[in-house]
Structure 1
Amino acid sequence: MSTTPKYPVDEREVDISAIRAQGAGGQNVNKVSSAIHLRFDILASSLPDEIKERLLCLRDSRITQEGVLVLKAQQHRTQEMNRSDALARLQEVIDSIAVPAKTRRATKPTYGSKQRRLAGKSQRSEIKSSRGKPGAGGD
């Protein structure tokens, strides 16, 4: 990401632990703890209250009931790359919340869209009416 984040994450507020990665990889996966388990306590962080509130309202399975965001990074072979990947993903989550969603304003369908919908309905009606037995032209 080339732009600087509006609310940068302080790495001292993040609990990072190295764990063994899952999946294929042979001996390296079984011996080396290269995956990263990142825990970020939203309520205890230095983020503004409005950002904390939006984060906690997210319907995200990675956020526990205690308000801790848990990320696991195991894409890369090295622990350092997984660590930077986990921190970048945490920053992405916070950045996605930083800009409030625009409120949706209801609009009426245009004349053309109404005509297209009605034309599609009448075409479908023709198809269905032609499916009956010959000579049975409806009621």
Structure 2
Amino acid sequence: MTSSTSAPGVAPIYQPRASDDATSGSVGTNPTSIKVTLAALAAQPAPAEATTATPAATTTQHPAPTTPAVIEESSPTIGGVCNPSVDNHSVTDDGQSVKCPPTGGTSSKWVRSEPVVGTREPGSPCTAGQRGIAVAPDGKDMFCVGTDESAHWSK
């Protein structure tokens, strides 16, 4: 087998020698020549070297700290607007007991009330004529009703 030099980017041309034949196990005379062109590969840019890129560090933007709103609860005032689903009994700045009864209208108002003496079970004994309101476990107001031995808390 012989080869000749070619232009850059072109593979050498194979030209069989007369001594090559198919019976000797060497390359035969057919085909008579093979031309391989590497010009297309030579025109392509060399592949870039593989690099491992480290991703840029990311930072998380947190909102600026804020000062929580301070809700100043003011003491109720007689005739002031209240919400009976939240407010039940309270005391004014001057110590007057007040209640926020549901009115069925658009807004309820604080009204004067007897002081709350605590939570009691309905039917439990009380002192006849006792001043004040007891609150049942379900949040309902109770009054002391009856005389002497029969006085008890009732809704």
TM-score, normalization: structure 1? 0.20
Determine which structure has more spread, i.e. the larger CA radius of gyration: 2
Q: Which has the higher contact order (CA 8 A, sep 6+)?
A: 1
Which structure shows the higher strand fraction?
2
Which structure shows the higher helix fraction?
1
